[in-house]
């Protein structure tokens, strides 16, 4: 971006980031989501609740997966162990699923009015992020009850982690929402890819259950496994909320690098595909 | 950025092409198999367009269906990018391409005003300041906190128009939107245009309504098949368009005087008065039966058509408007010419000269495909033994009898 186009004042920045449009579209998303349903917002609580009950039954009771004991927290609860990674994962899934269709579903808008198109997938991710914030707040209370004291000092670290995940997800959402305008295969592919992606991320089991001594084509299973960027987030969330420990430096580096790369590619792909969107959508 | 150019809009060799793929839903697999070359035909919707629209002018764009008018507006609005040449727009621009396009049916009118305003580039503070004006202009004070899915199409469109018009654009693009709303709302829209005009703002109006273009616009451009045919003072350009545009249409009879006239590109082929046996008439007696017959080309319409008729007295008084609603759906699957008839058992108007306007809409009545104002003129003749004045022929009968002492 040329220097002359960098924002010079708060108002410029406000306009560049389309703050008003983002706020309004995010509110539209949140307000209309549970309109005309009897249970309304209870649905957003029911979803993780059912998941925790079912996954706990299957993986903890039937398959007897032992959660790692929180070090140094001493926590030993499969439900909490699961929730600290499941909530961010569900944010990941719903964001991407909804953002994929963010442009195609708004075709009447895109073909009739000009506005920066990137706000559509971004606002749909933002709406899910607000939901995640609420869910995480509830989870913090739950952990505080189990721990017997509130772990305030971890909140800034958690927020930093969530913010990075938000940017990472926006980058992915920009990419797939733009490509989906041209190839509707993306939304179907996503439906297929998300389930295996979850099982290849340490959400239902601890990372140390992935064998470190076995190799595939000369590369260790564990190394291969960690190519998945979501592994870093899962591990970092578990460090902060379950172990109550600061994630390692390399973990942070991996997360920041993944975020930067995906965001940069996301914007590039989007800008490249934006000009013809109104014709192809 | 100060206005550095004398022109609000400057087009230089503008061209826009579309790809016509044979299968719209081409997939990744098809692209990979075809080696990155999906087969498509190119179609130039606009080509080699040079046009300058000065700041503060009111500019009309006319042309038949499919001539490229709407594509041009979309390029100006930034929705489509030109493939050739340049389109320079100098100033804050607002486009009325479809009213209420950004509305979400489940949200209230109030929420939608803020949402739509933000889409059009307003900040929340801007809208708060103008909110009462917006709602007042749309006459929706009582319904503003209702979800817009409960709005009538008229209310929907009024609110959309009101938001767009209050953005205070330096350049306003209008695409045929005035055909919606009732008469008094249309009048207020025109007043508002006149006000914007007097404030020195630039208005670009795309319309089939030649009367309105002639009345509102100083300059007009006529576009045909994506190229500029004529540009200049509105009356001259409109005359040239009528000469060129109606050359192939059947000659108009004396009584069926055509104002806008029907062009060869128009979907409407004819509008006639016929008697109950289907024979054409050119006059009808007050209180007598008559049918209005509209023939249109359903094969070329993009979607099912609802026919709307407007009956006016020659002095412009609006007598009645009707639309075919559900009745026209029965023949939608036909792909040739369709006749839609409106039968009146007794034409309850006083003798005089009347005019018919015709519009083709989609079924939702939101979109106007075509509109011909004052297309047909005919006389209503006095019926023997009738003695009354005013607007309506009441059609009653007199009787008198003694009421006793």
Find the helix or strand (DSSP H, E) in which B400 lies.
none
Find the helix or strand (DSSP H, E) in which B7 lies.
strand B7-21
Label residue B48 left, alpha or beta by phi (over 0 means left) and psi (-120 to 50 means alpha): left
pLDDT tens readout for residues B211-265 = 788 888 889 999 988 899 999 998 889 888 887 754 333 333 333 334 446 777 7
**Degrees (nearest 5) of the Cα angle A77, A82, A83?**
100
SS3 B93: strand
How far out from the chain centre does Cα A2 lie?
A: 31
Amino acid A188: pLDDT? 92
CB contact under 8 A, B98 and A108: yes
Contact B148, B156 (CB under 8 A): yes
Contact B163, B104 (CB under 8 A): no
Report, as an integer, the average pLDDT of A194-199: 95
Q: Is the pLDDT of residue A209 over 70?
A: yes
**Cβ neighbourhood burial of B218 (10 Å; 0-12, 13-18, 19+):** middle
How far out from the chain centre does Cα A46 lie?
A: 19
How far out from the chain centre does Cα B171 lie?
A: 20
Contact B86, B13 (CB under 8 A): yes
* Separation CA B214–CA B199 (nearest Å): 20
Contact A120, A22 (CB under 8 A): no
Amino acid B46: pLDDT? 92
Query: In Å, how far is B57's CA from the nearest CA of chain A?
Result: 23
Amino acid B285: pLDDT? 86
Amino acid A120: pLDDT? 94
Q: Report CA-CA distances (Å) from B342 to A167, B210, B327, B357.
A: 60, 26, 10, 13
Q: Tell the residue number behind the tokens 């060869």, with chain if given.
A: B264
Give the pair of three-digit tokens for residue B189.
């829209």
CB contact under 8 A, A28 and B18: no
- Among candidates A259, A22, A1, which has minimal Cα distance to A118? A22
* Separation CA A60–CA A78 (nearest Å): 7
Q: Does B401 touch chain A (CB under 8 A)?
A: no
Give the pair of three-digit tokens for residue B378.
């005919």
Contact B370, B208 (CB under 8 A): yes
How far out from the chain centre does Cα B61 lie?
A: 13
CB contact under 8 A, A28 and B111: yes
Amino acid B12: pLDDT? 93
Write out the DSSP string of B373-395. EEEEEEEEEPPTT----SSB---
- For chain B, residues with pLDDT lower than 70 are 1-4, 21-40, 177-181, 245-261, 326-335, 366, 385-387
Using the 8-state DSSP alphabet, how is residue B263 labeled?
A: -
Q: Does A28 touch chain B (CB under 8 A)?
A: yes
Amino acid A53: pLDDT? 92
Amino acid B34: pLDDT? 59
- E-strand ranges in A81-239 read 215-216, 219-220
Give the pair of three-digit tokens for residue A273.
């595909």
**Is the ipTM here above 0.95?**
no
> Which range scores top for mean pLDDT: A133-137, A212-216, B121-125, B192-196?
A133-137
For chain B, domains (ranges, CATH) are: 56-80+92-243 (3.40.50.300), 250-381 (2.70.50.60)
Cis peptide before A72 (omega within 30 of 0): yes
Q: Which of A113, A116, A278 to mutate to test the interface with B (most CBs of B within 10 A)?
A: A113
Amino acid B261: pLDDT? 62
Q: Does B128 touch chain A (CB under 8 A)?
A: no
First-residue to last-residue Cα distance in chain B: 89
* Separation CA B186–CA B158 (nearest Å): 10
Q: Report CA-CA distances (Å) from A53 to A61, A80, A100, B47.
A: 11, 11, 29, 63
A218 φ, ψ (degrees, to nearest 5): 80, 0
Q: Tell the residue number behind the tokens 């409407």, with chain if given.
A: B268
Find the helix or strand (DSSP H, E) in which B338 lies.
strand B337-344
Q: Is the pLDDT of residue A92 over 70?
A: yes
CB contact under 8 A, A20 and B123: yes
Strand pairing partners for B312?
Answer: B318, B355
Q: Does A32 touch chain B (CB under 8 A)?
A: yes
Q: How does the average pLDDT of chain A come out, rounded? A: 89
Q: Does B27 touch chain A (CB under 8 A)?
A: yes
């Amino acid at each position: 971006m040329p220097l002359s186009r960098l924002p010079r004042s708060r108002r410029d920045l406000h306009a560049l980031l389309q703050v008003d449009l983002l706020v309004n579209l995010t509110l539209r998303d949140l307000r209309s989501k549970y309109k005309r349903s009897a249970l309304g917002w209870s649905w957003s609580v029911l979803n993780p609740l059912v998941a925790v009950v079912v996954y706990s039954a299957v993986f903890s009771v039937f398959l007897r997966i032992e959660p790692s004991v929180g070090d140094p927290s001493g926590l030993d609860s499969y439900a909490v162990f699961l929730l600290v990674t499941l909530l961010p994962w569900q944010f990941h899934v719903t964001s991407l699923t909804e953002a994929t269709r963010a442009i195609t579903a708004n075709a009447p808008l895109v073909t009739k009015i000009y506005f920066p198109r990137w706000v559509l997938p971004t606002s749909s991710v933002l709406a899910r992020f607000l939901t995640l914030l609420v869910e995480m707040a509830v989870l913090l209370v739950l952990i505080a009850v189990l721990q017997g004291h509130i772990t305030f000092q971890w909140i800034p670290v958690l927020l930093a982690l969530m913010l990075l995940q938000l940017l990472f997800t926006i980058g992915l959402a920009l990419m797939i929402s733009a490509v989906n305008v041209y190839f509707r295969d993306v939304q179907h592919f996503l439906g297929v890819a998300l389930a295996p992606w979850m099982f290849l991320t340490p959400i239902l089991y601890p990372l140390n259950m992935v064998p470190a001594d076995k190799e595939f084509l000369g590369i260790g299973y564990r190394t291969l496994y960690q190519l998945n960027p979501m592994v870093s987030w899962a591990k970092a969330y578990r460090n902060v909320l379950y172990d109550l420990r600061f994630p390692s430096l390399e973990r942070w580096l991996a997360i920041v690098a993944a975020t930067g790369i995906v965001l940069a590619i996301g914007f590039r792909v989007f800008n490249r595909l934006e000009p013809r969107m109104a014709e192809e959508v | 950025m100060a206005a550095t150019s004398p022109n609000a809009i400057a087009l230089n060799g503008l061209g826009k092409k579309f790809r016509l793929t044979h299968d719209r839903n081409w997939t990744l697999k098809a692209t990979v198999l075809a080696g990155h070359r999906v087969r498509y035909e190119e179609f130039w919707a606009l080509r080699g367009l040079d046009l300058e629209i000065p700041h503060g002018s009111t500019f009309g764009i006319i042309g038949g269906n499919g001539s490229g008018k709407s594509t041009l507006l979309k390029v100006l609005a930034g929705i489509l990018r030109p493939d050739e040449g340049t389109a320079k727009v100098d100033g804050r621009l607002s486009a009325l391409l479809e009213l209420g396009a950004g509305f979400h049916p489940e949200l209230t009118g109030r929420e939608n005003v803020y949402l739509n305003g933000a889409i059009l580039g307003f900040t929340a503070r801007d809208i708060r300041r103008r909110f009462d004006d917006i709602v007042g202009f749309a006459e929706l004070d009582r319904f503003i906190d209702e979800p817009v899915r409960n709005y009538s199409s008229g209310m929907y469109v009024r609110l959309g128009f009101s938001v767009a018009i209050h953005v205070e654009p330096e350049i306003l693009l209008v695409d045929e939107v005035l055909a919606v709303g009732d008469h008094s709302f249309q009048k207020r829209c025109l007043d508002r245009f006149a006000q914007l005009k007097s404030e020195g703002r630039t208005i670009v109006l795309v319309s089939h309504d030649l009367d309105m273009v002639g009345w509102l616009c100083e300059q007009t451009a006529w576009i045909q098949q994506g190229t500029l045919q004529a540009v200049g003072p509105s009356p001259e350009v409109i005359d040239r368009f009528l000469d060129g545009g109606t050359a192939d249409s059947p000659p108009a009879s004396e009584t069926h005087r055509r104002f806008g006239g029907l062009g060869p590109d128009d979907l409407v082929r004819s509008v006639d008065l016929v008697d109950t046996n289907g024979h054409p008439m050119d006059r009808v007696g007050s209180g007598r039966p008559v049918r209005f017959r509209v023939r249109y080309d359903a094969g070329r319409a993009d979607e099912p058509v609802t026919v709307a008729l407007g009956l006016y007295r020659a002095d412009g008084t609006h007598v009645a408007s009707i639309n075919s609603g559900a009745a026209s759906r029965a023949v939608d699957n036909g792909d040739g010419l369709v006749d839609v008839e409106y039968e009146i058992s007794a034409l309850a108007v006083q003798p005089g000269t009347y005019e018919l306007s015709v519009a083709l809409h989609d079924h939702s009545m939101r979109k106007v495909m075509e509109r011909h104002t004052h297309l047909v003129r005919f006389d209503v003749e006095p019926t023997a033994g009738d003695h009354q004045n005013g607007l309506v022929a009441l059609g009653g009968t007199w009787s008198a009898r003694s009421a006793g002492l």
